[in-house]
Amino acid sequence: MHLWCGGPLTLLDPAGPHVGRPARPMTYYEVDLTPQHASRPVSLPSSGKGEFVGTAELTWWVEDPVAFVRAETTRVADRLLAHLLETAPRVTRHHSPRRAAGAQRALDTRLGRWPVPGLAVRCTVRLAPEWAPPPGSPSAAPTTASSPTGLLTGAEAVLLGFDGPVTRLFTAPAARKAALDLLAVAAAQRDPRDTHDAQGTRDTRDTRDTSEVPAARESLTHPLDVLRVYARDRIGPLLRARLDELELAAVPHAPTTHNAVALVRALHESGRRVAVVTDVSEEAVRRYVEPYRLPLDGIHGRCPHPAPLMPDPECLLRALRSLGVGADAGVLIGSTVAELTAAQQAGLRFVGLARNPTVEQDLRAAGCRVTVRSLTEVLAAARAR
């Protein structure tokens, strides 16, 4: 985000920060677009003498950077939790402590608008009567869910991420190049007058020219990062179309993840249904998997219209509906925090493919309980049942 002296607030274009104007002082704002998480135990009133106990889990990410900066909101987690704790008692006090499931469903539909503009918020509240173990506590957590074998137990469907579990569509340098390609398209199409008036909270004065602003250009290292930034912008469809082209061009050069083909076939032979879910275009996925003749029950990728990308769970829910199974009967195998967050919001179990310590650390920090360094362990679990 940036703010010209005396001008309106707008999205910063890292490919051309000065938008064709001479270099002069500006205020810029760094907005973290990655999903954030918070959880806390809760105690809520019921219609009787007892109470509900449980765990509230919040996940949020910036969906509209301009609105978020305008709001000047600090301590976001506290604001969201305060809204939850203010709203929840009004709902749960109408439910018997023996009807925790009904109270939980009612609460899911009654939280209303969240008090922080520009955020997409997902909230999960797990309730139980006060005499029962709190949901999500170690005493209530199933011990079988600590390994791929445990997570696959009882699973009727397995959703498989594409970029990571099936292939690596872009190497790091190629992803960076593709991101810069999209930024160049955005720079060529963006109207400098297409801005929004606002005020900000964090500012740094900068009088350097474009070649001296590497931090801004380095902030978006993958084309999907760029697409998420411009998802709500008028040039979003144009960027989607260009990314379609880049992904199709990358397909012939993308290596197949070790054991990916064998895993899909083993899952199919075990009686489980398998579908690919991804933010990559469906055409690129179909072209990639076609030579392998995999027994897939569906491919659910990026829609041509401005449908949300992960961490929004829309793609996962679309796949589950197509397969005709509920989230409690499904597992997602993915490799990104965005996929993990989407799975958490959809109620899916998750196996994290973390091929290096950095990815594993990121997944663990976001709440992933089961990670593997390769698909070998998952393949063994699939063949065991």
Q: How confident is the model at residue 301 (pLDDT cuts 50, 70, 90)?
A: very high
Contact 369, 145 (CB under 8 A): yes
What tokens were used for 219? 């902030």
Rounded to 5 degrees, φ, ψ at 328 are -70, -10
Q: What is the mean pLDDT of residues 43-66?
A: 81
Between CA 216 and CA 12 the distance in angstroms is 8
Q: How confident is the model at residue 14 (pLDDT cuts 50, 70, 90)?
A: low
User: Considering the entire predicted model, what is its pTM?
Assistant: 0.63
Contact 332, 349 (CB under 8 A): yes
Q: What is the DSSP letter of 371?
A: E
pLDDT, residue 381, reads 94
Q: What is the pLDDT of residues 89-115, one digit of tens each?
A: 888 888 877 777 778 778 877 877 788
Q: What is the pLDDT of residues 151-189, one digit of tens each?
A: 998 899 999 999 999 999 999 999 999 999 999 998 888
Between CA 39 and CA 228 the distance in angstroms is 25
Q: What is the pLDDT of residues 212-227, one digit of tens each?
A: 334 435 568 899 988 9
- The more confident residue out of 340 and 28 is 340
The 3-class SS string of 98-120 reads CCHHHHHHHHHHHCCCCCCCCEE
Q: How confident is the model at residue 266 (pLDDT cuts 50, 70, 90)?
A: very high
Average pLDDT of the residues of the chain: 81
Lowest mean pLDDT across 4-18, 85-99, 316-330: 4-18
Which residue type does 30 have? E
- The more confident residue out of 142 and 111 is 111
pLDDT, residue 223, reads 94
Q: Give me the residue spans of the domains in the chain.
A: 2-30+170-252, 36-141, 145-169+256-383
Whether omega before 311 lies within 30 degrees of 0, making that bond cis, reads yes
Lowest mean pLDDT across 65-74, 137-146, 334-343: 137-146
pLDDT, residue 49, reads 66
Q: Does CATH number 3.30.479 belong to domain 36-141? A: yes
What tokens were used for 381? 């679990």
pLDDT, residue 153, reads 87
pLDDT, residue 11, reads 59
For the cut 60, the answer to whether the pLDDT of residue 6 exceeds it is no
The dihedral over CA atoms of 72, 75, 79, 84, expressed in degrees to the nearest 10, equals 150
For the cut 60, the answer to whether the pLDDT of residue 208 exceeds it is no
Q: What is the mean pLDDT of residues 10-36?
A: 65
Q: How confident is the model at residue 336 (pLDDT cuts 50, 70, 90)?
A: very high
Q: How confident is the model at residue 206 (pLDDT cuts 50, 70, 90)?
A: very low
- The more confident residue out of 36 and 298 is 298
Domain 36-141 shares a fold with domain 145-169+256-383: no
Q: Does CATH number 3.30.390.10 belong to domain 145-169+256-383? A: no
Q: What is the DSSP letter of 347?
A: T
- The more confident residue out of 127 and 330 is 330
Q: At 269, is the secondary structure helix, strand, or coil?
A: helix
pLDDT, residue 198, reads 35
Contact 186, 228 (CB under 8 A): no
Between CA 127 and CA 150 the distance in angstroms is 24
Q: What is the pLDDT of residues 231-247, one digit of tens each?
A: 778 888 999 999 999 99
